[in-house]
Every structure is written in C-alpha cells, then in structure tokens.
Chain A
Amino acid sequence: MRPLLALLARETALAWGRGGGPLVAVGFYAGVATFLPLAIGPEPERLAAIAPGAAWVALALASLLSLERMFERDYEDGALDLLALSPVPLELTCLAKCLGQWLAAGAPLALAAPVAAIALGASPALAPLVFACALLGGIAFAFVGGIGAALSLGARRGGLLTAMIVLPLFVPPVIFGGGALDAFASGLPWTGGFAFLGAYAAAAVAVGPLAMAAACRNALS
C-alpha cells in the first residue's frame, strides 16, 4: 500500500507538471468561452443552447492534451522498467498512474467546466450537473486515454496514434454526458444518461488497467 500511495503522489505531481493543473484548465476554458461567441455569433439564445454541450466536448478534447506523455516519458527514461520490477502488480501501477492523471488534469478541468458553461450563458442550475458529468467523465477519459497512451508506446508520432485510438472510445461517454445535460436543460429525466456515463467510467476503471499493463509489458520486452 505504501509504495502505491508514494506512486500516486508522484504521478499526480508529474501530471501536474506535464499539462495538468489549474492554470492549463483555466486557460483552456477561457479560450473556449472566448472563441465560441467569436466563431458562432454573440446571440445569447444560441450560445445558451450550446453552452453545456460545448463545455462538455471541450473537456473531452482537453483531456487528450497531456495523455501522450503519460507512459512515454517513463518508457524513455527507464522508470517503467523500475516500476515493473516490483511486488506491486503492473495493473495497480497503471491504475495509480490514471488516478494521478485524473487528479491533476481531470479534476481542475471539471472545476472549470461549469464556470465556462455559465459564462457562455447556460443556466446556473445546470452547473452542478456539468461538474458531476465532468468529474465522472474525467475518470473515463483518463482510464480510456491511458489505454491509448500505453498502446502507442515506442511509436513515432505517438500522440497522433494515441488520439486515433482514444477518440472513438471517447464517443460513448460524450454521448451519454451530452444526453444527460441536454435532458436536464429541457426538463426531461436525465438520470439515464448520467447512469450510463457512470457505467462507462466504471468499466474503464475495471478493464483499463489490465489493457494498459499488457501494453506496457509488450512495449518493454
């Protein structure tokens, strides 16, 4: 347990430095909230209608930013070898890496997402659900993204490959979360979409580490 906690602290610190942290999240959402009205026109009704969806899609894309280096740096500098030479199963090591990624990159984005949605004109009543979707979706994005990052280890242009692998897998959570937000905004039952998002995140946490560990072993040998 003690080595895993030490790893989680280290991974969070590394993810913070590699494209996570509050400043990146704030900067990213400031960009979204500024550019979107410039690109599609400043009419408040139109902006308010797309605000939650835009904040949600921006989250999915922002979580791609720091994925590439999630395993690549450890692979290049030998840290992955040393992480593998341990009584701690590589699956748990990968789990800790994804949790670190989520804490440092996903959570600040989830905090910024409702602010951006409200800035674009979404109803403040929507903010808690945007936050909850972003937090839950962030888990799915970190664990599914980790699979892509591990599979593209050692490849040239690994970031491109990661995006190619990961983007199709981001489709279901984007649909579920977007559906829940849309239903809530229209006063319809929204728990179904939210529950599906939770189920997808749970599946990603269960299956992701197995896939990541297998991909890492393959890359090391």
Chain B
Amino acid sequence: MITALTIRDAAVRRGGRLLFEGLSLALAAGEACALTGPNGSGKTSLLRAVAGLVRLDAGEIGFGGADPADAQGGGLHLVGHADGLKAARTAREELAFWSRWCGGSEAAVREAAEALELVPLLDLEVRRLSAGQRRRLALARLVAAPRPLWLLDEPMSPLDSRWRPAFAGMMRHHLDGGGLVLAAVHDPLPGAQRSLDLGA
C-alpha cells in the first residue's frame, strides 16, 4: 500500500538533453500535487519516471513503506494522452478489458460506467467517441480498479465545462480516502495542496 510519494534529487535526461535535475517532492496520503511548466519541461517524463517506465539519471523515488516494484506494478494508475484504447474496439470491450487488467470487478466496472456516464456510449467503437468521451473512458479505470496513486497527464484538458468539476469531485473523493494525486496541468488543479514548477 502506497502511503506517501517522495522524490529526492531526481534528474532525467532524454535524448541527450537534461530535462530537470535536483527535483524533490514529498507527498503524503490525501495530498495532491500540481505539476506545472512549459511544454517540453519534463512533466510527462517525471510522471513516467514515478511509474517506473523511465529511468532516473540521478536521485530516487520512494513510496512510503511500499516496495517500489509492488507500487509500480499495481499500486498506481497512469492516465495520459496515449490512453491505450484501440479505435476499432467498442467502448464496452475496452473498459471491461482495462478494468479487468487492473484488477477491477464486474460490479465495479458497471459502477464506473455509470459514474462517468458512459453507459449510452458503451456500444460505440472508440473511434466514434469525441476526445472528451474518450478521456472519460480512460478515467473510468480509476474508479473501476481503485489504486492509491494517480499519475495524471493533463487529465482535464479534453473535458468540457460540466465534466471538469465532476472530475474534480472524483479526485476529492480519492484524496479523502487516503489517495495521492500527481497531475501535470496547465490550468489550476482543484484541491491541490502542493505544486511543483518544472520551468522554474
């Protein structure tokens, strides 16, 4: 169980270019952090490094008491632009597969589809969905298979004015339950106690 996220003196180099160095952050259970900075400043790379997909060139990442391999292999959700949804499959198939892959139960999948108002869209192919509907489909995983740490890459950007506050409510609910959120954003992140600017 992830109870905290600590990043100490992290540095990431991509394609020979230093994105950031000496970056530190401590996040406790129930806290959210907004990750800001100009395009290309390394927000996505930092999220991927926390997920264990990108190697740090220096520094370390800890998850409270949890073993990093366990934390990265089933303790966190990563939602970004590349959402893993296959255009030719139906929303129902994709939601069911990813929820099951993340360990969600049948009942939880139904609950997630209702919470994100996906029920009328379930029989459509993913290619027929708008960007915002597609993002809601990707976010449904977070509800269907609860995991303590959410790593979100501009989660709100395709959502409309009704869904932004609705998703903020979902995040608040997650934080109230002891979850953690690290989100790369360009607009203010509702409910964020901390922020980290990679451009500074």
Q: Chain A residues in contact with chain B, CB under 8 A?
A: 2-3, 6-7, 10, 13-14, 17, 73-74, 76-87, 220-221
Contact = CB atoms under 8 A, between A and B. Distances in A.
Interface string B65-92: 0000010111011101111111011000
Chain B CB within 10 A, most for which of A74, A78, A82: A82
B85 A77 contact: yes
B97 A220 contact: no
B25 interface: no
Contact of A82 (B54, B78, B81, B88): B78
A81 B51 contact: yes
28 contacts: A3-B101, A7-B97, A7-B101, A14-B86, A17-B88, A77-B85, A78-B82, A78-B83, A79-B85, A79-B86, A80-B84, A81-B48, A81-B51, A81-B82, A82-B84, A82-B98, A83-B84, A83-B101, A84-B52, A84-B53, A85-B52, A85-B53, A85-B73, A85-B77, A87-B73, A220-B53, A221-B53, A221-B55
A82 B101 contact: yes
A74 B74 contact: no
A10 B97 contact: yes
A195 B121 CA distance: 51
Contacts of A220: 53-54
Contacts of B84: 74, 77-83
